[in-house]
Copies of this chain bind each other. A is one copy, B any other.
């Protein structure tokens, strides 16, 4: 089984690496990081590059594709017509699963793959799915046929475990979870707009930079 994880300039690294760490543990599976051109691809922080081992043109028939998200300017560049959009539309004809994490769902949407489907995205971008004829669903992992979308960034781990279970059965998915010691204990309860401080959610919805540059001001 070949799993292609798309990389593009200013993607969010954890969107890709969380699912990679889960899915690479599946039996008989090869995960290939792929970008328009093979070589290092810089994440949105400017502080980390992952190496795309393949060019997308060299992967015409992956069994699974995963599209990570990124900041608005980064996803917008992939949503315009171009090699990535064309590749996604073409390979989706043959995939067993077409998946995304965070704002990667907007890229799937722009490629025409989510029309009429239920899907999720980062909470700040969720409403935009409607622009592509998708039905925005505020859940952590949304499955609609072979299309699986995960919410923001860290949701890719949960999405990938769901997918692992579908592919290889519950025991294999649990074994992966145990090896990754995925027994999460966030020290705070601010992980969703429903549980985070209301003023923080409001500030982010209005585009305030986070975190506040001066901790003393918080």
Contacts and interface: CB of A to CB of B under 8 A. Distances in A.
Given A48-B31, A51-B49, A188 B173 contact: yes
A169 to B, nearest CB: 5
A72 B74 CA distance: 38
Copies per complex? 2
Nearest to A201: B178
Interface string A115-128: 00000001100000
Contact of A174 (B12, B162, B197): B197
Contacts of A186: 157-158, 161, 177, 182-184
B178 A191 contact: yes
B31 A213 contact: no
A81 interface: no
Q: How many A residues touch the partner, as a band?
A: 35 or more
A175 B17 CA distance: 21
Given A186-B182, A190-B175, A191-B177, A215 B169 contact: yes
Contact of A192 (B24, B31, B181): B181
Contacts of A212: 27, 171-172, 175
A100 B40 CA distance: 26
Nearest to A12: B21
A174 B196 contact: yes
A20 B195 CA distance: 24
Given A196-B174, A200-B171, A210-B176, A17 B48 contact: yes
Interface in A118-174: 122-123, 140-141, 151-155, 157-158, 161-162, 165, 168-174
10 contacts: A13-B20, A27-B214, A40-B40, A49-B53, A140-B185, A154-B184, A168-B211, A174-B190, A176-B210, A178-B191
